Amino acid sequence: MASEKKKKRPRPEPNSDSEEPDWDPPPRSRSRPSNPSSSSSNKALSFKKLLKPDSAILDTLKKLYDSHHQNPNPNPTSLSDLSLPFPCREVSDLPPSSVERAIESTILTAASSILSGDGFSFSVPGRGPSNQLYVPELDRIVLKDKSSSRSFSSLSTVRKAAVTARILSLIHQLCLKNIHVTKRDLFYTDVKLFGDQSQSDTVLDDVSCMLGCTRSSLNVVASEKGVVVGRLVFSDDGDRIDCTKMGVGGKAIPPNIDRVSDLESDALFILLVEKDAAFMRLAEDRLCGFYNRFPCIIVTAKGQPDVATRLFLRKMKTELRLPVLALVDSDPYGLKILSVYMCGSKNMSYDSSNLTTPDIKWLGIRPSDLDKYHIPEQCRLAMTEQDIKTGRDLLEEDFVKKNPGWVEELGLMVKTKQKAEIQALSSFGFQYLSEVYLPLKIQQRDWL
């Protein structure tokens, strides 16, 4: 059982007497007594007076942890448990030998077709929007089981058929040798044929779906992107990694999650951060910093989430049974990034069962926070027409409609046509995020 794998490490006493930073607002000019920027700073900094001692905030986190630990799986239903009116396609982790056999079977079928005089084609699952569906019972996107023919004899598909055959050959070699390469390495094996890496990447996902295995099973990984820091110890291919000793940059999340094992933590929650800048701010003060005051694990994919970070987040949540709080920009793209972590991306809907982490709580920055925390006008950005369209499109998504809080916040964003980045909080001081905003949000249980 996952709960039996968790091992406790001693938790130090909370540092409730840590030295407080200097929050004196900038001096106001006598000739301009009504400076709106200074007034906004004074109002925002007054929130510090609302903070309770760290021990009280820790009590709130412990209640959240206990509640989640008792019921860590809000969506235990699997696709096979549902009686959907149409078949769906899902993939699973397969060992190299099984992937080899699947490729060989595919090629034998093609060879038989050639010998019979019919040429050859691949049956490729359709991954377009019309073949995808959000299933509320699972709270994630799934892929319907519809396929199309990719024929070598058709002008419209001959090139993709050739690329597919080449990718299958390369994957077969990797599985035989049991070695891993990056997607970039794969592209450079045949640059003239592939033309552009986006094309080889797309066919790689097609092949994964065709063979019925996860992309990790193909022994092709993305370059390291995500990082983690905080109260976590794990083994990376046999090496023991203590994430409290990784410095400001954190520990790079291994591209091959199969290397990760033996997770240990005394954290009360996982803090998922959209951007690298906010991650560094929270990771910087190791001794009296955020993840030691409020025991947590901080993780970021530095923007759009990659597969390894999504797998790693799911692994932590499942094995350590921890709640996840998310900190993203107050704009439509921050919410799109959060939705990818929660219910999956349409591009990889075939593997959503392995890549999604349901029940992530949206902590901030939320559109309602802009006025609540008196974010100065000069730190707010006007939404572009594309931003507004993206926000309205999100309001039409089923996974948004099921959450009234999301609908209200997105509606406010589209109405005010204002957005703000996490860094807008730095207008009140570089430590305002870790010293005031996040502790107060947690203290007030202000998440969706």
134 in catalytic set: no
- Are 90 and 79 spatial neighbours (Cβ–Cβ below 8 Å)? yes
What is the three-class DSSP state of 261? strand
Cβ neighbors of 409 (< 8 A, separation 6 or more) are 362, 366, 367, 368, 448
Which DSSP state fits 331?
Answer: S
Residue given tokens 């920009």 in the structure block: 329
Residue given tokens 């006493």 in the structure block: 13
DSSP string across 317-373: HHHH---EEEE--BSHHHHHHHHHHHH--STTGGGHHHH-----EEEE--HHHHHHT
Residue tagged active-site, from 188, 291, 341, 373 = 188
- Are 327 and 300 spatial neighbours (Cβ–Cβ below 8 Å)? no
SS (H, E, C) 213-249: ECHHHHCEECCCCCEEEECCEEEECCEEEEHHHCCCC
- Are 45 and 25 spatial neighbours (Cβ–Cβ below 8 Å)? yes
Q: Sort strands 361-364 and 381-382 into parallel, antiparallel or unpaired.
A: unpaired
Q: C-alpha angle 175/258/76, rounded to 5°?
A: 115
- Nearest by Cα to 41 from 436, 439, 400: 436
- Nearest by Cα to 305 from 329, 282, 336: 336
Which amino acid does the sequence have at 250?
G
- Nearest by Cα to 219 from 260, 253, 255, 261: 255
Q: Sort residue 212 into left (φ over 0), alpha (ψ -120 to 50) or beta.
A: left
Active site residues: 188
